Amino acid sequence: MPALVIQTSFLGDTVLTTPLFAALAERGPVDALVTPHGASLLRGNPALRSLVVYDKRGRDAGVLGLRRMARRLREGAYDAAYLAQGSLRSAVLARAARIGRRVGFDTSAGRALYTERVRYRRDAHHAERLWRLAAGDAAPAPASDLIRPRLYPSADDRAAADALLAELPGGGPLVAVAPGSIWGTKRWPHVPALVSMLDDVRVVVVGSGEDSVLAETIAAAAPGRVLDATGRLSLLASAALIARCAVLIANDSAPTHLASGVGTPTLAIFGPTVPAFGFGPLAPRSEALGVDGLACRPCHPHGPRECPLGHFACMQTLEPSRVAARVRNLLDTHPVP
């Protein structure tokens, strides 16, 4: 019988759920309940039979929307629901859909409605945590390939990325930079200085349309070498563009996970958060970089809007020269695509 995975959280979490999809697909058909943005990211995933779009902040909002979705899910006759997103609303939805087996983490808000609880391993990467919803607590530590996310840009996505890259002339390595984050303190402020130091590379700035102001400051620091791609591509086309790059430089944010999904080496910059939370890059030859030895770090599970102490030392004191040296190392050990 088919299984349902419920994942309506952030885009990065959606990417990190793809190893769970693959593990469940070895047993039978798998559907995923996701947000509209999540659905656009999972298009073409061969592990999924279908995508069920749950617009929880739009047409499916509120109790009436939940009831409608529950009725729709009952038609799927699912054998099990895997609660990759652990809110109480998701748990209520799975129960209202009359899915008899409901598997989720023992720390989730909806755990009282689960029939099976899997230990939330704080010392594991989140991709492994999600994978264990299928594998179980007793499974041995997985090989890295089993928990590496996978994204599947289409031929049209790749063509859109290539058409955009044609606007950036010249030769030399192509480096992607993702300067944005919805969490203000996750944005490393020295990206323009870094790009100025990397004077022999071409740079493409990726992100949403809201990151266009950041892209302008980066382009001003390196005239003629920077392409602003913010807000110009779909999520999967953005992943295809990142796949064309030798390295991605990003904050602890969704582009890091897009790069993991297409295998692009990543230098991920962590400020108020740390990789030990389980959200570091998983692409081969990737690295995480931060300022060690700060008593105030980490200060928040996501990253507050502003530094609670006012000094923002976790990002301000991470010098561009240090980041540039690590980028050079990644470029030296990874061939230009």
Give the CATH number, domain containing residue 227. Answer: 3.40.50.2000
Which of 128, 147, 166 terminates a domain? The answer is 147
The position carrying tokens 């030392």 is 313
Q: Verify that 38 and 105 share a domain, yes or no.
A: yes
Q: Verify that 297 and 168 share a domain, yes or no.
A: yes
Judged by DSSP in three states, 288 sits in strand
Find the angle CA(209)-CA(212)-CA(218) to the nearest 5 degrees.
Answer: 150
Pick from 70, 79, 63: nearest CA to 27: 79
pLDDT at 1: 82
Q: Verify that 132 and 252 share a domain, yes or no.
A: no
In total, how many domains does the chain have? 2
Q: Are the C-beta atoms of residues 289 and 268 closer than 8 Å to each other?
A: yes
pLDDT tens, 259-276?
Answer: 999 999 999 999 999 999
- Both tokens of residue 119? 């230990």
Which of 120, 147, 174 terminates a domain? The answer is 147
Q: Verify that 117 and 221 share a domain, yes or no.
A: no
Q: Verify that 119 and 200 share a domain, yes or no.
A: no
**Residue 29 burial (C-beta neighbours within 10 Å; 0-12, 13-18, 19+):** middle
pLDDT at 334: 61
Q: Verify that 51 and 124 share a domain, yes or no.
A: yes
DSSP code for 137: T
Q: Verify that 225 and 323 share a domain, yes or no.
A: yes
pLDDT at 302: 87
Q: Verify that 179 and 198 share a domain, yes or no.
A: yes
pTM of the predicted structure, to 2 decimals: 0.95
The position carrying tokens 């990644």 is 330
Report the 10 Å Cβ neighbour count for 317: 13
Q: Are the C-beta atoms of residues 7 and 83 closer than 8 Å to each other?
A: no
Q: Verify that 186 and 297 share a domain, yes or no.
A: yes
Judged by DSSP in three states, 175 sits in strand
The residue range of the domain holding 192 is 155-333
Cα–Cα distances (Å) from 64 to 81, 93, 225, in that order, read 21, 11, 51
**Residue 281 burial (C-beta neighbours within 10 Å; 0-12, 13-18, 19+):** buried
- Both tokens of residue 296? 């105030």
Tens place of pLDDT per residue across the chain (337 aa): 899 999 999 999 999 999 999 999 999 999 999 999 999 999 999 999 999 999 999 999 999 999 999 999 999 999 999 999 999 999 999 999 999 999 999 999 999 999 999 999 999 999 999 999 999 999 999 999 999 999 999 999 999 999 999 999 888 899 999 999 988 899 999 999 999 999 999 999 999 999 999 999 999 999 999 999 999 999 999 999 999 999 999 999 999 999 999 999 999 999 999 999 999 999 999 999 999 999 999 999 888 989 999 999 999 999 999 999 999 999 987 655 5
Q: What is the mean pLDDT of the chain?
A: 96
Pick from 303, 328, 333, 324: nearest CA to 315: 303
Which of 87, 122, 147 terminates a domain? The answer is 147
